[in-house]
């Protein structure tokens, strides 16, 4: 994981930028669990359980943007191969500077499995949303080789969607900055916030 953080600082090709494409925020009817973001400091902190629940909703929307509902699962096709993605069971773990996304999947050949996508987030509170990740998620090789890139892309889209939604709830057009701490996720909605050293 330390290598991921080094990749982010060095600007390697594994780095992802949050403002590469516009993403419509989640509808309030879908994301009713998200409280209004009205803190004077322009930031809100979610405990890990709340962050995971919100991320799960964002992931469900990211993998089925053309559907009006939030599907519990989706099936991806690649030729004759199929992958069942349990979108409503996606997990998010918060570490110091890291987010770990666990995506439960199923194939007829490999059975149930979990693919883990690690994101190393920018260490600075003033940086825009950016992350570094590995080329492929961690998990069974036979699943990762065929489906890994698609799972990583969906995990990143969901992260951008969550940051965009929080910004929209705060009445801001800029994408929020995400700061991962052990057991919690801090979302900064105001640009150029000074670092809160008390959290370190």
Return the domain boundaries, the chain: 2-191
Distances in Å between the Cα of 105 and the Cα atoms of 23, 134, 191, 194 are: 25, 19, 37, 40
Return the higher-pLDDT residue of 27 and 146: 146
Distance separating alpha carbons of residues 144 and 162, to the nearest angstrom: 25
Positive or negative torsion for Cα 179, 21, 59, 110:
negative
What's the whole-number mean pLDDT along residues 143-148? 95
- What are the b/e assignments for 16-37, b being 16+ CB within 10 Å? bebeeeebebbeeebbeebeeb
pLDDT higher than 50, residue 180 = yes
pTM to 2 decimal places: 0.76
The string of pLDDT tens digits covering residues 10-58 is 443 333 444 333 344 444 544 444 444 444 456 778 889 989 998 999 9
């Amino acid at each position: 994981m330390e290598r991921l953080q080094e990749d982010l600082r060095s600007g390697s090709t594994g780095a992802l930028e949050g403002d590469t494409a516009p993403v419509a925020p989640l509808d309030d009817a879908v994301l009713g669990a998200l409280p209004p973001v009205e803190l004077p400091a322009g930031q809100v902190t979610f405990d890990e359980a709340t962050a995971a629940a919100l991320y799960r909703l964002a992931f469900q929307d990211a993998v089925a943007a053309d559907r009006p509902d939030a599907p519990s699962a989706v099936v991806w096709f690649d030729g004759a191969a199929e992958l069942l993605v349990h979108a409503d069971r996606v997990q998010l773990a918060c570490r110091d500077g890291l987010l770990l996304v666990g995506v439960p999947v199923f194939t007829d050949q490999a059975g149930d499995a979990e693919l883990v996508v690690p994101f190393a987030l920018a260490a600075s509170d003033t940086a825009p949303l950016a992350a570094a990740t590995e080329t492929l998620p961690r998990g069974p090789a036979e699943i990762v080789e065929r489906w890994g890139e698609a799972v990583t892309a969906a995990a990143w889209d969901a992260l951008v969607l969550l940051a965009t939604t929080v910004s929209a709830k705060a009445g801001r057009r800029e994408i929020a900055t995400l700061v991962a701490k052990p057991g919690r996720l801090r979302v900064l909605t105001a640009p150029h916030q000074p670092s809160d050293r008390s959290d370190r």
